[in-house]
Amino acid sequence: MNKYPVTNGINDEELALLAECLHLEKRSFRRGEVIMKLSEAAGYSCIMHSGTACLRSIDEQGEENILDIYLEGDIFGSLISTESDVNLYYVFAKTDCDVSFFATEGITGLCKRLCPCHRRFAQNVLGSAVRRSRIHLDILSGRTIRKKLVSVFEYFAQEDENGLLYLPVPLSDLAEYICVDRSAMMRELAKMKRENLISSPAPDRYILNSGLISEG
């Protein structure tokens, strides 16, 4: 956990105290399982240790959309999520996941030990939430599908053991995340291939610039 952005500036000794103060409860989820329904998880948040999870919303008409994608080191839950009396929000495991639950009060409340690392952790969490929101808004503000694709590739591309880049979610989920029609997005990808801006060595893989991007 000490390698995560939310624990920047916190050493191993402080991290052990922080984990004890937060009463972290680690759980594992299989692909497709619901990790958290935000309407039922008031007061709790989670730290992603491994895997990929998605925040999905369902509106009154039953339409579903992916609002966020969580990877290793990310935090989600009541601490940084918006409540709604209309839409249903839930986080589900896109792959097998390991997450740690903790009471949000452990961050927003006063630590009995007055641990300085609590303040740094809270600042890191809030800073991370602001950054994620800003990046997603920047992606959505792209005037064309191509601009949105390039932005999301740059944001979500992960490096594998061979030093190649890949996307952690299928293209169908990516289309939901950037709010475009999947067919239109696929046509744009095909156009980018014809223009030699990207190449596709396999049906679910794309090379953009010098990095490999995979549907996962």
Contact 29, 109 (CB under 8 A): no
What pLDDT score was predicted for residue 212? 63
What pLDDT score was predicted for residue 85? 58
**DSSP states of 86-115:** SSEEEEEESS-EEEEEEETHHHHS--TT--
Overall average pLDDT of the 168-177 stretch = 88
Overall average pLDDT of the 153-182 stretch = 82
d(CA 41, CA 25): 14
Burial degree of 171 (CB within 10 A; 0-12, 13-18, 19+): middle
Q: Is the pLDDT of residue 10 over 80?
A: no
Domains of the chain by range and CATH?
5-140 (2.60.120.10), 145-214 (1.10.10)
